[in-house]
Amino acid sequence: MLDSRFRFSRQTGRFHLGVLMALLVLVGGLAIASWLLNQPPRIEPRPPPEPTPPLVDVIHTQRVKQAPTLEAFGRVEPEQQANIASRVAGELTRFGQGVVPGGVVEQGATLATIDQADLRLALADADAELANAQAQLALEQGEQQRARSEYQSFGRELSPERRALVLREPQLRQAQAGVTQARVARDQAALNLERATLTAPWRAMVQERLVGAGSLLSQGTDVVRLVGVEQFWVRASLPGEWLTWLSVGDRATLTSRGWPAGEQRQGELISILPNLEENGLQTQVLIAVEDPLALENIAVENIALESSGPALRLGDIVRTTLHPKPREALIALPSSALKPGDGVWTVDDNDQLRQATVTLAYRGEDQALVRAGIDAEARVVVAGLAQPREGQRVRVREAAQ
């Protein structure tokens, strides 16, 4: 009996001890969890990673003798044009062959013919008057011989004035003057007959017929308007500061939106005009274009080959690209490489950024020419910079020149 009581009490003690240990473990776990939850997170400090240098595009500069390409717009105008007028009065009978607007006539070709009937009659009358005057001169010369014989037989010396009268010298001069007047009238009548046929003074294109066949013309009436086809001019306007680059003889390239893709014409700068353009007050230059209508096709064995290029049209607006002769050694940069204040960013041998201020000889829309401020072998940044700073390390990539 005692033994069973002892065994029961022993088991009861173990049970209470297990419960107590479980409670202690639970309370300890809760205490540790509460402490962990109340503690701020602790992160071990690490050094920040090295930033990746930005990637920039650079070009290698060279100092060579060069000049900028200057672009402007110009209007096509004729080098020579004229209104051919009638120099005699009469009826316009007909126009010459090919004398239609847009037709090309050669130098000396017949443009129009005026009725010649009255002019031929006037020439015949002038010929008769000349013959009459010559006959009167011949008669007077006979009278001269008779008067001289009588004077010699008279045997007396007279004063020069009386001798001139006796020898009929005034009558002789009058007859000679009559012949001269008649010859002039005959020549004028012949000239008028020749002028009844209007001819082209130079190779030209007919721009307009101003009257019709059958019109009664007076002297000075305009008949045909001609435009020379040997050469056209392009009057271009450009900023005055560009004149330092230009000189007579510089080459020019002309393009137009109305021409096929890739087509162009060549011209030559022939004059820098003294007057400014009225609207924009820009300088004006004249560019000459030979064979502007592309008429000079080369023919080999009666086969027409391709002409010199598209035809220019009077009044058309063309894009003019001038190519001045190189004058000094300069460094070429794309205009996008320039920053405000004519500054550029360069990359040194350690791949670090360096800022420089340059002196420009020319700045255009796409290209700039540098006279001073950077070395001839510098690496200039043309793209890739967002917020550059002096000494910043960069990665370099070669850009297309």
Q: Where are the domains of the chain?
A: 55-66+327-398, 70-78+230-323, 82-114+199-229, 116-195
Look up the CATH architecture of domain 82-114+199-229: Beta Barrel (2.40)
Rounded CA-CA distance 346/351 in Å is 9
Contact 111, 139 (CB under 8 A): no
Whether the pLDDT of residue 65 is over 50: the answer is: yes
| Residue predicted with more confidence, 172 or 116 | 116
Contact 277, 240 (CB under 8 A): no
Rounded CA-CA distance 298/296 in Å is 6
Answer whether 55-66+327-398 and 82-114+199-229 agree in fold.
no
Region 119-148 average pLDDT:
79
Whether the pLDDT of residue 313 is over 60: the answer is: yes
Q: What is the pLDDT of residues 259-302, one digit of tens each?
A: 888 889 999 999 998 888 777 778 899 999 999 988 875 433 34
The one-letter code for the residue type at 385 is: L
Whether the pLDDT of residue 400 is over 80: the answer is: no
pLDDT at 286: 95
- Categorize the per-residue pLDDT at 116 as very low, low, confident or very high, splitting at 50, 70 and 90: confident
Rounded CA-CA distance 121/115 in Å is 12
pLDDT at 213: 87
Who's near 259: CB < 8 A, 6+ residues apart? 310
Kindly report which listed range (70-79, 139-148, 194-203, 216-225) carries the lowest average pLDDT score: 139-148
Topology (CATH) of 55-66+327-398 = 2.40.420
Can you give the pTM of this predicted structure? Answer: 0.69
Look up the CATH architecture of domain 70-78+230-323: Beta Barrel (2.40)
Rounded CA-CA distance 109/84 in Å is 13
The one-letter code for the residue type at 265 is: R
Listed in order, strand segments (DSSP E) in 61-209 are 63-66, 70-78, 81-85, 90-95, 104-105, 110-114, 197-199, 204-209
